[in-house]
A and B are shown apart, each in its own frame.
Chain A
Amino acid sequence: MTAETTTAPAGAAAAGAAATTAAGEVLLRVEEVSKHFGGLVAVDHLSFEVRKGEILGIIGPNGAGKSTILGVISGFYPATAGKVFFQDKDITKLKTHQIVALGIGRQFQTSTLFMSLPVTDNVFYGFHLDYKTAIWKRLLRWPSARREEREFRRRGEEILDRMGLGAVKDEITKNLPHGYQRILGICIALAQEPTLLLLDEPMTGMNETEIDTMLELVRGIRDSGVTIAMIEHNMTAVMSLCDRIVVVDHGQKIAEGLPQQIQDNEQVIEAYLGKDEMLLDE
């Protein structure tokens, strides 16, 4: 592991960013988290924070451990070392469904959807945690059970309309174009009314128009009061969308700061282009 020293020490970077994002309160704190898969070190003593109301971008070359860190936060992978705090509560040891209940929603990198079901049902299933009515009341079609059902339908359709999927709500999910499936993944996460939304490469495989739509949607979600942490490869999108960026390489944080700072950071350029090319340039 070629452990490069962090350009800006964590404290300094945080101070620099805090000055610009009006000292937002910390929502999620990742502390010295490591994740090993057998002998492979996917994440290596990584620390960063997500502040309330911001869009945090996590970037890095392929295989840098970006998706793994989202997996650790959302409880899919147990962390080998370190801790994750959400709203000052230690969530490192919690199971995925418990973490979801606390308010961390997640969209997946690959299209993880209920492909054989209509679009509305995908969102509808997302209301699982809000369900209150007892089983026997559902069987007897008790008025309160029907009211609850209607309420969920209404809320689901509201989300779909807001995200621009209103027109295709009755389609079978597998027939949707790829871009729509991506958006649907976010809709499902939104059904749980998360405080923090984790997006795993929401713009992969999209064309220019779709990326523009996605940018608008993500901004809209942020403006509705949801904090967002996202992994993304599309640099233009990241630079225009994110308030702050964390750059990860070989499982370690190599830089953190505002988009402009990241763009000018030599270590980041090096990580993306490779050292050899840097030497050639010199």
Chain B
Amino acid sequence: MNNPVINAVAARKRLIGFVILIIFFAFIPAWVKSPYYIDLVIMVMINAGLAMTFVMMLRTGLISLAVAAFWGIGAYASAMLAMHAHLSFWACLPLSVVITALVALIAGYVIIRSAGFTFVIMTTVIGMLFVVAVGNIGSMGGYNGVSSIPAPDTLNFGALGKVVFDSKVDFFYLGLIIFVVIILVINAFYSSWAGRAWNAIGLNPRLAQSMGVNVFRYRLTSFVVGCALAGLLGSFYAHYQTFIIPTAFNLFPKTIYIQVFAVLGGVGFATLGPIVGAAALSFFNEAFSGYPQWAIIIVGALVLVVVVFLPKGLLSLWEVPGRIRGWRQAQAIKRGAEAIPDAVEPLGLDTEGGER
């Protein structure tokens, strides 16, 4: 678990790291010319964003299996507004966020009361129901999906020039801006008392309650914010792909993949974990794409290795040398203690297992 101690030095380091990461992302199109790889990076950003919302809800003890469904709600809301109401993307984007948030608020109000196992089941139901419902509504395209969703309107900055969304690189920068906004929003919540209340609930709901934390309200906040951000990504995805089908937003494999991204990077790392997880899995997939019949098995095995040997995720790799050193020290102390028994006086502080 991230240590939420507000440490000015650590906060500045994190900020610098974040800026470097964003600059690195911003220069990707300068090195990578192939539209295929640009597309891959855009998908990594979308997947990482979705995994971040999953981690955010997980922090309050809500295991949501409806991440992909709310992503889909955002995508479909945006597509429908653009196709039927003929609204510009720039109006669809905020509207779809509002719609997703409202759906999450209503659904969350009902299902969060029973956090825990029931919540998991209820989100599973939402995740499956969304696909079936959309698939059976003719005016929403049914199982055939919606095609030719219009690209964002040209942005005219007058003397500064204009941005026409006609290439993957334009979408890449739009996606990057949305990605940065999501990271900022998530960090704003984490660094505020809302985030601390989330942490408290995740660590120990009973204690959080007796600190005056309204557990239901804060869980609902995290659910609504998480789903709204997924909706934002959905809207972008719909207008980027120009074509969406309901099964793309299915529980399996989409939500499962989102969880794998989060776990692979490390759920203790709120924003960097999902980025590393999504990037690593895309990298694995690409590396073994030459052997399609083996790819899934190899990637699955690699994920398993990470989960077993690095339970805190890929980002805990840097802890490994310290852990080995600690283990060696413990071994040395053990050997020393065996050699000279009772050399060390017990401190007498630990009273665990004392008289009851």
Instruction: Point out residues on A near B: beta carbons under 8 Å.
Output: 74, 76, 95-97, 100-101, 105-106, 108, 112-118, 120-121, 125-126, 128-129, 131, 133, 135-136, 138-139, 149, 177-179, 188-189, 191-192, 204-207, 210
Contacts and interface: CB of A to CB of B under 8 A. Distances in A.
A101 B212 contact: yes
13 contacts: A96-B209, A97-B212, A112-B204, A113-B204, A128-B211, A129-B211, A129-B212, A135-B189, A139-B188, A177-B350, A177-B351, A178-B354, A205-B356
Q: Which 7 A-B pairs have the closest CB atoms?
A: A139-B188, A100-B212, A129-B212, A131-B193, A135-B192, A138-B192, A96-B209
A112 B213 contact: no
Given A121-B4, A128-B197, A128-B212, A207 B355 contact: yes
Contact of B5 (A118, A139, A207): A118
A172 B89 CA distance: 49
A207 B210 CA distance: 28
A100 B203 contact: no
A25 B308 CA distance: 60
Given A101-B212, A112-B206, A125-B208, 18 more contacts: A97-B213, A100-B210, A106-B210, A108-B206, A114-B200, A114-B203, A115-B203, A125-B196, A128-B208, A129-B212, A135-B192, A178-B350, A178-B351, A178-B354, A189-B210, A192-B211, A205-B355, A210-B351
B214 interface: yes
B4 A177 contact: no
A92 to B, nearest CB: 17
Contacts of A178: 350-352, 354
Interface in B174-222: 184, 187-189, 191-194, 196-197, 199-200, 203-204, 206-215
Contacts of B207: 108, 112-114, 188
A133 B192 CA distance: 8
Contacts of B208: 125, 128
A39 to B, nearest CB: 24
A135 B221 CA distance: 13
Contacts of A207: 351, 354-355
A76 to B, nearest CB: 8
Find the residue from B5, B184, B210, B215 having the highest chain A CB count within 10 A: B210
Contacts of B184: 139
Given A96-B209, A117-B203, A139 B351 contact: no
B320 interface: no
B349 interface: yes
B325 to A, nearest CB: 18
Given A114-B203, A138-B192, A188-B207, A205 B354 contact: yes
B1 interface: yes
- Which bracket fits the contact residues of B? 35 or more
Contacts of A120: 5
B326 to A, nearest CB: 14
Find the residue from B187, B192, B193, B353 having the highest chain A CB count within 10 A: B193
Contacts of B196: 125, 128
A118 to B, nearest CB: 6
B343 interface: no
A106 B206 CA distance: 11
Nearest to A132: B193
Interface of B: 1, 3-6, 184, 187-189, 191-194, 196-197, 199-200, 203-204, 206-215, 349-356
Nearest to B203: A114
Nearest to A207: B351
A114 B204 contact: yes
B193 A128 contact: yes
Contacts of A136: 188
A282 to B, nearest CB: 32
B199 to A, nearest CB: 8
Contacts of B215: 97
A101 B217 CA distance: 15
Contacts of A95: 214
A97 B192 contact: no
A91 to B, nearest CB: 14
A127 B187 CA distance: 21
B48 to A, nearest CB: 20
Nearest to B194: A135
B203 A204 contact: no
Contacts of A114: 200, 203-204, 207
A39 B214 CA distance: 30
Given A178-B350, A179-B351, A97 B214 contact: yes
B163 to A, nearest CB: 27
Nearest to B188: A139
Contacts of A205: 351-356
A96 B351 contact: no
A128 B200 contact: yes
Given A114-B204, A139-B188, A128 B351 contact: no
Contacts of B191: 138-139
A118 B3 contact: yes
A179 B209 CA distance: 23
A207 B355 CA distance: 7
A149 B4 CA distance: 12
A135 B197 CA distance: 13
A204 B356 contact: yes
A96 B210 contact: yes
Contacts of A210: 351
A79 to B, nearest CB: 17
Contacts of B3: 117-118, 121
A221 B8 CA distance: 33
A3 B197 CA distance: 45
A135 B1 contact: no
